[in-house]
């Protein structure tokens, strides 16, 4: 018998229902066939008699493989011939020289060559004209990549950043922060001063504590704020009852929110922090409990966010300059 086909491997896509697959090449024994089920989870070798059965060993046209469980959608069944690389024919001197036995041994040698060729076809090789020889892979090192050594004669493990392949800091548009420090990174990513503080909170409880922190009086507010606020801070708060509310740079205003109040534009630059004092019932729709906001100087408008808690009615506005 001859081995007239160079095919030694077949691939089939699973559909969840088909369990029988053709083996389109000759194999001498069932043990010469190897089945591997491939999926997104990796490759899983199958076991004969447990996971599948075979028929057609020794047939020139090939045979059939029947699985106990059909391959599912997204799975690929690989059938390949992988004979054991041993020579099992023992010729005794002066004994008969049967052609069938000799031809079967030659067939097996051919199948072994085809199995080796299939493996080599899946390897990375140099082009035919290359004069490079003796290239070896180094032992794996975490966090490093394969690259040519300085002489260009072999492969080595190298640090990507050290090779200039990655310029640090990496811009935000390329998935980085564009900064070398935590503070600059938060600013590059668009964090506000308050957002940066919240981002640094070790847990949710600490973040809520930061959000809900409130001074008992304007004196504490003034004492706890940066020096930039103190420079323009008004000693006496000016009450405001209704209508649009405007705050000039560095000024402090207190608003009685009874009946509601309209937040107007904040004049100047920097950050606006709004605190509540006083007592009385709170309506989330008409009376803000605590508002911390920022505004875009180009739009000259205040962007606010309300946090509903407590029973406060008095709203204190302070416009700070960063």
The pLDDT tens digits for 49-65 are 999 999 999 999 999 99
What confidence category does residue 297 fall into, taking pLDDT thresholds of 50, 70 and 90? very low
In this predicted structure, what is the pLDDT of residue 284? Answer: 31
Is the model more confident about 143 or about 284? 143
Percent of residues, the chain, with pLDDT higher than 90: 38
Tally Cβ neighbours within 10 Å of residue 303.
Answer: 13
What confidence category does residue 188 fall into, taking pLDDT thresholds of 50, 70 and 90? confident
**Which residues make beta-bridge pairs with 244?**
262
Lowest mean pLDDT among 26-30, 99-103, 191-195: 191-195
pLDDT tens digits, residue range 155-185?
Answer: 999 887 666 656 667 677 666 777 777 777 7
In this predicted structure, what is the pLDDT of residue 307? Answer: 33
pLDDT tens digits, residue range 249-287?
Answer: 334 444 444 444 444 333 333 334 444 444 333 333 333
**Which residues make beta-bridge pairs with 271?**
294, 320
For residue 187, the SS3 value is: helix
Question: What is the model's pTM?
Answer: 0.50
Whether the CB-CB separation of 79 and 10 falls below 8 Å is answered with: yes
Rounded to whole angstroms, how far apart are CA atoms 165 and 135?
23
Percent of residues, the chain, with pLDDT higher than 70: 57
Lowest mean pLDDT among 23-27, 95-99, 213-217: 213-217
Q: How far apart, in Å, do the first and last CA atoms of the chain sit?
A: 89
What confidence category does residue 128 fall into, taking pLDDT thresholds of 50, 70 and 90? very high
In this predicted structure, what is the pLDDT of residue 294? Answer: 40
In this predicted structure, what is the pLDDT of residue 12? Answer: 98
Q: Average pLDDT of the chain?
A: 71
Region 302-318: what's the mean pLDDT?
36
In this predicted structure, what is the pLDDT of residue 140? Answer: 93
Lowest mean pLDDT among 1-5, 27-31, 253-257: 253-257
Half-sphere exposure of 40 (CA within 13 A, CB side): 3
Q: Which of 83, 54, 57, 74 is nearest to 66 (CA)?
A: 54
The answer to whether residue 129 scores a pLDDT higher than 60 is: yes
Q: Which of 308, 272, 319, 312 is nearest to 292 (CA)?
A: 272
Give the CA distances from residue 113 to residues 33, 84, 118, 163, in Å, rounded to whole numbers and listed in that order. Answer: 15, 11, 9, 42
In this predicted structure, what is the pLDDT of residue 32? Answer: 96
In this predicted structure, what is the pLDDT of residue 161? Answer: 66
The answer to whether residue 296 scores a pLDDT higher than 70 is: no
H or E stretch at 295: strand 290-296
Q: Is 230 left (phi over 0), alpha (psi -120 to 50) or beta?
A: alpha
Rounded to whole angstroms, how far apart are CA atoms 145 and 157?
5
Region 131-139: what's the mean pLDDT?
93
């Amino acid at each position: 018998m001859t081995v007239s086909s160079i095919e030694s491997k077949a691939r089939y896509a699973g559909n969840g229902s088909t369990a029988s697959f053709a083996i389109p090449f000759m194999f001498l024994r069932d043990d010469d066939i190897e089945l591997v089920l491939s999926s997104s989870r990796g490759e899983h070798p199958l076991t004969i008699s447990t996971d599948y059965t075979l028929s057609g060993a020794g047939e020139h046209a090939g045979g059939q493989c029947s699985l106990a469980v059909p391959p599912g959608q997204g799975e690929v069944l690989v059938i390949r011939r992988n004979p054991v690389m041993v020579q099992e024919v023992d010729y005794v001197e002066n004994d008969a020289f049967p052609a069938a036995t000799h031809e079967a041994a030659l067939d097996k040698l051919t199948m072994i060559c085809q199995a080796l060729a299939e493996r080599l076809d899946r390897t990375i090789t140099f082009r035919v004209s290359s004069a490079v020889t003796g290239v070896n892979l180094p032992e794996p090192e975490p966090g490093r990549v394969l690259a040519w050594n300085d002489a260009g004669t072999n492969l080595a493990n190298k640090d990507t950043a050290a090779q200039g392949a990655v310029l640090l800091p990496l811009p935000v548009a390329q998935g980085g922060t564009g900064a070398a420090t935590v503070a600059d990174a938060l600013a590059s990513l668009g964090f506000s001063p308050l957002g940066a503080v919240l981002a640094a909170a070790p847990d949710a409880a600490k973040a809520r504590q930061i959000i809900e922190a409130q001074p008992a009086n304007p004196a504490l507010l003034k004492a706890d704020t940066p020096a930039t606020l103190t420079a323009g801070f008004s000693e006496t708060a000016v009450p405001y009852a209704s209508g649009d509310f405007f705050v000039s740079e560095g000024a402090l205003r207190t608003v009685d929110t009874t009946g509601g109040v309209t937040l107007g534009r904040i004049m100047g630059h920097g950050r606006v922090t709004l605190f509540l004092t006083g007592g009385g019932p709170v309506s989330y729709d008409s009376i803000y409990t605590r508002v911390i906001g920022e505004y875009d100087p180009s739009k000259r408008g205040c962007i606010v966010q309300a946090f509903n808690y407590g029973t406060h009615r008095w709203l204190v506005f302070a416009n700070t300059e960063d």
